Structure 1
Amino acid sequence: MRAKFIAGLMAIALWPSAARADWLQASSEHFVIYADDSERDVSRFSDQLERYHAALALVLRRKTATPSPSNRVTVYVVRNQRAVRQLYGEGNRYVGGFYIPRAGGSLAIVPKVDAGNGVADFSMVTLLHEYAHHFLISANSMAMPRWLSEGAAEFFASVSFDKDGGMMIGRPAQHRAAELFYAPDVKVADLLDPAEYEKRSSGSYDAFYGKSWLLYHYLTFEKARSGQLDRYLELLRDGSSMRDAGLQAFGDFDALEKELDHYLNSRRMQALKLPPDLLKIGAVQLRHLSDGEAAIMPLRIRSRRGVDAEEAKEVLDEAREVAARYPNDPAVLAELAEAEYDVGDDQEAVTAADRALAVDPSQVNAYVQKGYALFRLAAEADDKPAAYRRARAPFIALNHRENDHPLPLMYFYRSFVEQGEEPPDLAVAGLIRASELAPFDLGLRMTLATTLIRLDRQDEAKIALRPIAYNPHGGSLAGVARLMLERLESDPAWNGADMDTLLAAAQPGGDEGEEPSSP
């Protein structure tokens, strides 16, 4: 359960001042940004994020498909780190920003960013770190060891932006300097052998992030070790253990440790200079939020982050007050629908969503919340076939508006499973497509894996399971995925006959895949 916070304090923390907030939305190819800032700064911020995406695609030689509008990463910029930590909840001591990967709703919450030229400030570094994770997962179905995932994210987040549109990537991670010199040390052997790290780790803050960055940076630029990182990944793909892959690719860990010590004390380090002509991006569209949408924004951020039962009631009370002031604002009504759904008022959620759609049929969240509510109502309906047909309708309508939105594909599949019916091939194909569109959603991957096992498509199931099993932020789902992989290895024909027992052991807490970033 996330830590509780007082609604009044949260409103103060999220809202930059008592005066009317002038929220802006910046919409681009891969991002949607909500911030209370000037047009110039929000536009420049969006421009820099898009150039960063282009830099990742260029350096990693991976091109991801353009996401559907609702599958872009939404960035909510709040007042400061205190607001970020309040939203994060329990375990927030070192959190400077966080990212939640969800099909059709991935989001990042960060403090106000200085989007000026030059070296990125810490708030920007936090966001770039989170987006690097998002990009790497989207572009690569292979699960990465934790050190590699964090080291790569730190490497790519250490950037500077040039006035002419170019940038430098892979700069020294100055924000990790104090950690590397003063925090409890983490050895190369700890990074490359997770079992060794678990023995030594006290669970308190240490130099894991900084050392991961240092190793990734060294392996990227040190000519004597050219190709070793690719060899390491190849060995992991072929099934080698993390320790064995490290030994075969990098050799003696103690020798590598000494090299890293020397590298850390170097007077100069390399970085990648990328000229502007290699970082082509599309246009950024700016929109001032309506008075009603600006007023509901702090509540939208809380809802999208996720609320417990007590918080849901607080949000609903405030959402109803805002809706009373702005009864015809479709964005307000869509948020009201979400707040009603979160407290279990399903029919009220449907009513609010219908009111939003009557004013503005493009309100994506209204379709989603109406669909959620109708699905929950259908589970208790006497005439389930008719109820699930009604529940599918908002998602079908959303699919017609946005063909590559993953939620309609997911809920088309669920509409059969929840009735106890065998999903048709079309529904299974839709579930596979949804996972392709949102490979970062671990819960969706698990649903796909269990489906494939039951369909005797075990080899495909293994592919779906591995990124869950070895995701360092996979939580209880990662443990269950490892159990399932072990079962498939020992019994290749296993069709999930006792799968419910394995799944019951997961007891997912809802934050699988959630990625905090620390200062």
Structure 2
Amino acid sequence: MNKLKWQAALRAPVLGAALALLAWPGTALADWYRADSDHFIVYANDSWRDIEDFTKDLERFHVAMARTTATEVTVPSPSNRVTIYVVRSAKEVREIHGGDSKYLNGFYLPRAGGSLAIVPRIGSGSSTRDVAMITLLHEYAHHFLISAQRQQMPRWVSEGGAEFFASVNFLKDGTVQIGRAAQHRGYELFNAEPVPVEELLDPAVYEAREHKRYDAFYGRAWLLYHYLTFSKERAGQLTAYLRALASGTDEREAALQVFGDFDALDDELGHYLRQRRIMMMELKGSSVPTGKIAITQLSEGEAEIMPLRIRSKRGVDLEQARELLGEVHEIAAAYPDDPGVLSVLAEAEHDAHNYQAAVDAADRAIALDPTRTNAYVQKGYALFALARDTEGTGAKRAEAYKRAREPFIALNRIENDHPLPLVWFYRSYVESGKDPSELALRGLVRASELAPFDLDLQMQVALALIPAGYQDVAAYHLGPVAHNPHGGSGAAAARALLERLEREPKWDGKDIGAVMAQAFSDPEEDAPLPGPESAPEGEEPDGKASHD
């Protein structure tokens, strides 16, 4: 059973201890290892023991979230797990990311069949969670909650919930403590621009306010989520609020119906923040099993090419891809029979638009190791690119697209629930100028069910369903995209499509391109949101966690 315990409340003076980045246990760097568990793949240049402990903590976190939220989540297909690349430092994370944030300590990219996180070496098993670990767990909490439920959550619930779970602690005996004080939000709660309850619960009020500096949105969202979770006086109100929203009630109205007077709730939060101790939940190790963790050491070639692989997986433009390819060629020449190296080579060749070379490298990788799923993916990508460039008769193009489908068909036989074969089977119809079959459309929908966290895929599904006459289902898939607070013009496009469907429930989508173009042409839609997004999360003098 979950056990409630008291914990020291969040106080500004103790913040320094919570901010110190902890080195991963162990001294000298070891070889590259890969850890495989039910929900994660971890690559790290460290000791076997450290990567195992780290992966166990991640699995405990997943199980603890499932138990705490009473959620049943199926084990993902192997390629749909989250892959975590552990690099040497936060500086290297920022270099790989390529943005201009000075405080980025890790980032997460949700992709069907290829979700990944890139983080620096992380202190695992410590009583004080370090910034990089909090960043990673915050983002995985989003990944979990999106995968576990389709109900749209207000931004304060989404971010407050992620902060609530990310403040976890793992004890040496396997016990997991959930709902600890979010010490990393101490600075903003006591020093940043305040965010009243009304602004949390009514996004229109928050967005209308002129935010002149970094505010306490994330800290206050955590505080309200924590209070509603443990308050005896308000027991059941968070659930009732979410039910009201699910029934279609407006955010402000739902909050007033369930929580009552905003000022009174504000006063309660103030008292809650100032108290000396707060509650948390404790799950004993026997109730949060990790499952099997398989550790393998990478080959010499794979270890050497790993930094280039990580950069490629992050995503590169054509100029970067061609620069990267030269380095990949040097390593591939030294390890011509390493399927892991050849798989990276295939991806690098594809990114550099050398499509036939990508096919050749992928074929060599598959011949050496038929289980290399990324080789099939890269071969398929390259063959689709070649098919698009095919000139001549319709029969010639049809044959090119038939060939392009073959690697994905082979991948589907290896991993039946891999989402990408389903996506590209559908796209083979669209790109070749044919109307998608019902089977292809159902496959695309199934892919989105396997990867609900990939919002680009949700949009793709909606755009396919509207002209096919499945407007209600399309609206269901547009919801997460439209409510993504970081979605920019993509979220604006989803909202525009939903508004059109509300006005015309049987809209056939014939002018869908014009609706999309209007949304994407609005320059304000991609401007930074007021508040935390105008300064990266945690961008305070002491440098807290930043999420991507």
Same fold? TM cut 0.5: yes
CA distance in 2, matches of 1:196, 1:507: 25
For 2:122, the equivalent position in structure 1 comes to 113
1:305 pairs with 2:318? no
1:502 pairs with 2:511? no
CA distance in 2, matches of 1:63, 1:376: 39
SS of the residue corresponding to residue 55 of structure 1 reads: helix
Please report how far the alpha carbon of residue 405 of structure 1 lies from its aligned counterpart in structure 2 after TM superposition. Answer: 0.2
Instruction: Give a deviation string over 1:462-519, Cα, whole Å, max 9, x none.
Output: 1111111101122221111100110011111101010011223455999xxxx98642
For 1:70, the equivalent position in structure 2 comes to 79
Please report how far the alpha carbon of residue 198 of structure 1 lies from its aligned counterpart in structure 2 after TM superposition. Answer: 1.6
Please report how far the alpha carbon of residue 310 of structure 1 lies from its aligned counterpart in structure 2 after TM superposition. Answer: 2.3
Q: Give me the identity figure in percent.
A: 58
Rate the CA distance shift 1:94–1:493 in 2: closer, same or farther, 3 A: same
CA distance in 2, matches of 1:342, 1:248: 53
SS of the residue corresponding to residue 74 of structure 1 reads: strand
Instruction: Give a deviation string over 1:49-68, Cα, whole Å, max 9, x none.
Output: 11111101100011111100
Where does structure 1 lack aligned partners over 5 or more consecutive residues?
1-18
- For the 8 Å contact 1:145–1:472, the answer to whether it is kept is no
1:332 pairs with 2:341? yes
For 1:268, the equivalent position in structure 2 comes to 277
For 2:485, the equivalent position in structure 1 comes to 472
Please report how far the alpha carbon of residue 125 of structure 1 lies from its aligned counterpart in structure 2 after TM superposition. Answer: 1.5
SS of the residue corresponding to residue 44 of structure 2 reads: strand
CA distance in 2, matches of 1:115, 1:37: 13
1:198 pairs with 2:207? yes
- For the 8 Å contact 1:186–1:208, the answer to whether it is kept is yes
Letter in 1 for 2:350: Y
How many residue pairs end up in the alignment? 497
More deviation, 141-150/85-94: 85-94
CA distance in 2, matches of 1:419, 1:502: 24
For 1:350, the equivalent position in structure 2 comes to 359
- For the 8 Å contact 2:390–2:397, the answer to whether it is kept is yes
- For the 8 Å contact 2:125–2:172, the answer to whether it is kept is no
Rate the CA distance shift 1:68–1:204 in 2: closer, same or farther, 3 A: farther
Please report how far the alpha carbon of residue 309 of structure 1 lies from its aligned counterpart in structure 2 after TM superposition. Answer: 2.4
For 2:389, the equivalent position in structure 1 comes to 380
Letter in 1 for 2:49: R
CA distance in 1, matches of 2:284, 2:29: 40
1:321 pairs with 2:330? yes
Please report how far the alpha carbon of residue 130 of structure 1 lies from its aligned counterpart in structure 2 after TM superposition. Answer: 0.9
CA distance in 2, matches of 1:367, 1:205: 46
CA distance in 2, matches of 1:54, 1:158: 15
CA distance in 2, matches of 1:492, 1:54: 40
For 1:411, the equivalent position in structure 2 comes to 424
1:142 pairs with 2:151? yes
For 2:69, the equivalent position in structure 1 comes to 60
CA distance in 2, matches of 1:203, 1:307: 34
Please report how far the alpha carbon of residue 297 of structure 1 lies from its aligned counterpart in structure 2 after TM superposition. Answer: 0.7
- For the 8 Å contact 1:142–1:237, the answer to whether it is kept is yes
- For the 8 Å contact 1:98–1:517, the answer to whether it is kept is no
- For the 8 Å contact 2:29–2:45, the answer to whether it is kept is no
For 2:171, the equivalent position in structure 1 comes to 162
- For the 8 Å contact 1:144–1:471, the answer to whether it is kept is no
Instruction: Give a deviation string over 1:224-249, Cα, whole Å, max 9, x none.
Output: 11111111111111122222222222
- Please report the TM-score for the alignment, with normalisation by the length of structure 1: 0.93
CA distance in 2, matches of 1:21, 1:495: 58
Please report how far the alpha carbon of residue 296 of structure 1 lies from its aligned counterpart in structure 2 after TM superposition. Answer: 0.9
Letter in 2 for 1:476: S
Instruction: Give a deviation string over 1:78-104, Cα, whole Å, max 9, x none.
Output: 112111222222242332211110000
CA distance in 2, matches of 1:297, 1:182: 42
More deviation, 212-221/252-261: 252-261
For 1:85, the equivalent position in structure 2 comes to 94
CA distance in 2, matches of 1:91, 1:204: 18
For 1:492, the equivalent position in structure 2 comes to 505
For 1:461, the equivalent position in structure 2 comes to 474
Instruction: Give a deviation string over 1:375-429, Cα, whole Å, max 9, x none.
Output: 1111121311100010000000100000000000000000001112111111111
Letter in 2 for 1:256: L
For 1:177, the equivalent position in structure 2 comes to 186
SS of the residue corresponding to residue 34 of structure 2 reads: strand
Rate the CA distance shift 1:204–1:344 in 2: closer, same or farther, 3 A: farther
CA distance in 1, matches of 2:100, 2:198: 27
Please report how far the alpha carbon of residue 138 of structure 1 lies from its aligned counterpart in structure 2 after TM superposition. Answer: 0.1
1:370 pairs with 2:383? no
SS of the residue corresponding to residue 175 of structure 1 reads: helix
SS of the residue corresponding to residue 123 of structure 2 reads: coil
For 1:391, the equivalent position in structure 2 comes to 404
SS of the residue corresponding to residue 168 of structure 1 reads: strand
CA distance in 2, matches of 1:59, 1:473: 27
Runs of 4+ in 1 over 6 A off after TM superposition: none
1:451 pairs with 2:460? no
SS of the residue corresponding to residue 225 of structure 1 reads: coil
Please report how far the alpha carbon of residue 143 of structure 1 lies from its aligned counterpart in structure 2 after TM superposition. Answer: 2.1
Where does structure 2 lack aligned partners over 5 or more consecutive residues?
1-27, 527-532, 539-544
1:124 pairs with 2:100? no
Rate the CA distance shift 1:415–1:188 in 2: closer, same or farther, 3 A: same
SS of the residue corresponding to residue 341 of structure 1 reads: helix
- For the 8 Å contact 1:97–1:108, the answer to whether it is kept is yes
CA distance in 1, matches of 2:432, 2:293: 44
SS of the residue corresponding to residue 176 of structure 1 reads: helix
For 1:15, the equivalent position in structure 2 comes to none
CA distance in 2, matches of 1:35, 1:205: 34
Letter in 1 for 2:490: L
CA distance in 2, matches of 1:444, 1:305: 18
- For the 8 Å contact 2:193–2:213, the answer to whether it is kept is no
SS of the residue corresponding to residue 108 of structure 1 reads: strand
Please report how far the alpha carbon of residue 317 of structure 1 lies from its aligned counterpart in structure 2 after TM superposition. Answer: 1.3
For 2:13, the equivalent position in structure 1 comes to none
Letter in 1 for 2:297: H
Rate the CA distance shift 1:76–1:261 in 2: closer, same or farther, 3 A: same
- Superposed, which structure 2 residues align to 1:2-17 within 5 Å? none
CA distance in 1, matches of 2:312, 2:165: 30
Letter in 2 for 1:94: Y
For 2:288, the equivalent position in structure 1 comes to 279
Task: Give the RMSD, CA atoms, in angstroms.
Answer: 1.8
Letter in 1 for 2:184: H
Instruction: Give a deviation string over 1:119-169, Cα, whole Å, max 9, x none.
Output: 432222111111100000000112222111110000001111122211111
Rate the CA distance shift 1:248–1:196 in 2: closer, same or farther, 3 A: same
Letter in 2 for 1:405: H
